[in-house]
Chains A and B, each alone.
Chain A
Amino acid sequence: DGGITQSPKYLFRKEGQNVTLSCEQNLNHDAMYWYRQDPGQGLRLIYYSQIVNDFQKGDIAEGYSVSREKKESFPLTVTSAQKNPTAFYLCASSKLDSGANVLTFGAGSRLTVL
């Protein structure tokens, strides 16, 4: 079945460490997105990519980095510059022809900074 796989599901990090969250899709979607979810704040867009080797900042990109070397993969690195990284991170993908496209989401990765 086609879908999005995120790993790890749970991740603990010490302050000052970078961590990378994996996102892989086999839906042949062109667009991929990373959202951050905090309690009571909904989902906020971190980065998105519409084509290989290109990506754009979202609303809260500071302290994060991404790459898009393959169509199927869009990893997110949470750097030590991110002041409050503890959150639930969701990866999504969609076709790229209209705002009507439905985003398909992964199961998420929960990052806790100790």
Chain B
Amino acid sequence: AQKVTQAQTEISVVEKEDVTLDCVYETRDTTYYLFWYKQPPSGELVFLIRRNSFDEQNEISGRYSWNFQKSTSSFNFTITASQVVDSAVYFCALSEEGDSSYKLIFGSGTRLLVRP
């Protein structure tokens, strides 16, 4: 069965620290997609990144980077030099090409608090 686990419920860091948010997934599909979304206090989910199961290249976008490892079924998210504006709930999610609903299966989220 498909599942996404974000074991870190809440993380608190001081501004400028680096922080890594963990995501572990389970799927039987060979073609799948992994996503990260950010939910600021306003409530709306903001898309950050998508990776497909055939592309294990790590990606960097400014202070954000993602480490996808199929061998450990993980898709971790690192924020370098964190800022107060990074405070939010972050969700990892999975969709499977074999599921015609194309729904997203979400982890329980990690609340990140960046203190000044």
Contacts and interface: CB of A to CB of B under 8 A. Distances in A.
A33 B103 contact: yes
> Looking at chain B's contact residues, is the secondary structure mostly helix, strand, loop, or mixed?
loop
Contacts, number: 68
Interface string A27-58: 00001010100001111110010100000101
Contact of B108 (A42, A104, A105, A110): A42
Nearest to A58: B103
A96 B50 CA distance: 16
Interface string A76-103: 0000000000001010101010111111
Contacts of A88: 43
Interface residues of B, number: 29
A60 B86 CA distance: 31
Given A33-B103, A41-B108, A50-B101, A99 B47 contact: no
Contacts of B47: 102-104
Interface stretch (B12-20, B27-35, B60-68, B77-85): B27-35
Interface of B: 4, 6, 9, 31-33, 35, 37, 42-47, 50, 52, 91, 95-97, 99, 101-104, 106-109
